[in-house]
């Protein structure tokens, strides 16, 4: 069945000599994996690989069949053309890191339009932002809302946050409790939108430590989640 869809590229993998396997998070079907036959075969075909960079936003017609794991795509085009995400080394490092996180977190093969819209709008914000060194921190924290483990802020004034239970507490009675600078930053980010992110000042050391806290939080709540291999590159870029 041919149908129109939109997707955000999560990963690509060369298959055989001339094909690509591309995983996307789509607006209509959630996670879908596509087999693109012959896309690497000719010089003209190779130019099409520009569509499948990390987190590219695409509009396409798909040949979807429910009884197969690899679907087909035709008539692909950008639904949004990034100006800086793939040309700025700092932003491209963030995109590579986030795409790897999303590959390990987005599994559902069903429609979730609110999640798709969040990814789409947030990434467009990254593309337009002049100051973005903390973007990935807020992106991941807001992503937890759609994954089902957003920190419960009812008792946000408490001096500890239990990462295992996802709640703020008055006492430290868990090896997964955080306090101090990481707790302060968590509270600040929970009350912040992307357009106000620049008001939060974080140095490189604080950024690395809080990112490790966030990734540990993901590990506690998502079976099989592992720290992305691109984490080291990201930390080196934002040293």
CATH code where residue 62 lies: 2.40.50.140
Same-domain check for residues 188 and 211: yes
Q: What is the pLDDT of residue 207?
A: 94
pLDDT score of 76:
93
- Amino acid 47: pLDDT: 60
pLDDT of residue 43: 60
pTM of the full predicted structure?
A: 0.94
Query: Is 86 within 8 Å of 92 (Cβ atoms)?
Result: yes
Question: What six digits make up the tokens of 195?
Answer: 């357009």
Spatial contact of 97 and 235, defined as CB atoms under 8 Å apart: no
For residue 77, what is the enclosing H or E element? strand 72-80
Q: For residue 116, what are the domain limits? A: 84-239
**Quick one: pLDDT at residue 97?**
97
Q: What is the mean pLDDT of each run of 10 residues along the chain (239 residues)?
A: 93 89 97 90 65 96 90 93 96 97 95 97 97 96 97 95 96 92 96 93 93 97 93 86
Q: Cβ atoms within 10 A of the Cβ of 66, count?
A: 8
Alpha helices by DSSP H, the chain: 43-46, 89-105, 113-128, 135-147, 180-190, 204-221, 231-237
Q: How many domains does the chain have?
A: 2
Q: Are 210 and 185 in contact (CB under 8 A)?
A: yes
- Domain final residue, candidates 81, 104, 125: 81
CATH number, domain with residue 199: 1.20.1440
Give yes or no: residues 134 and 180 share one domain: yes
Last residue of a domain, one of 81, 115, 148: 81
157 in the same domain as 48: no
In the numeric block, the tokens 């979730």 are attached to: 112
- The pLDDT assigned to 230 comes to 94
| Claim to verify: residue 107 and residue 147 sit in the same structural domain | yes
DSSP state of 202: -
């Amino acid at each position: 069945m041919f149908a129109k869809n939109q997707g955000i590229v999560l990963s690509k993998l060369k298959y055989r000599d001339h094909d690509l396997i591309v995983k996307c998070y789509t607006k209509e079907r959630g996670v879908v994996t596509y087999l693109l036959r012959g896309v690497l075969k000719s010089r003209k075909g190779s130019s099409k690989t520009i569509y499948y960079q990390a987190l590219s936003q695409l509009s396409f017609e798909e040949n979807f069949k429910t009884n197969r794991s690899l679907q087909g795509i035709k008539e692909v085009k950008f639904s949004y053309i990034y100006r800086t995400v793939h040309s700025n080394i700092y932003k491209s490092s963030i995109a590579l890191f986030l795409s790897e996180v999303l590959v390990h977190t987005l599994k559902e093969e069903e429609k979730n339009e609110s999640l798709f819209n969040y990814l789409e709008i947030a990434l467009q914000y990254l593309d337009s932002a002049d100051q973005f060194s903390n973007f990935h921190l807020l992106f991941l924290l807001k992503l937890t809302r759609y994954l089902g483990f957003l920190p419960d802020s009812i008792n946000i004034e408490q001096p500890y946050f239990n990462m295992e239970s996802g709640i703020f507490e008055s006492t430290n009675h868990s090896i997964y409790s955080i306090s101090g600078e990481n707790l302060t930053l968590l509270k600040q980010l929970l009350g912040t939108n992307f357009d106000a992110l620049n008001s939060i000042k974080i140095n490189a050391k604080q950024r690395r430590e809080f990112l490790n806290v966030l990734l540990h939080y993901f590990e506690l709540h998502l079976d099989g989640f592992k720290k992305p291999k691109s984490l080291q590159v990201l930390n080196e870029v934002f040293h």
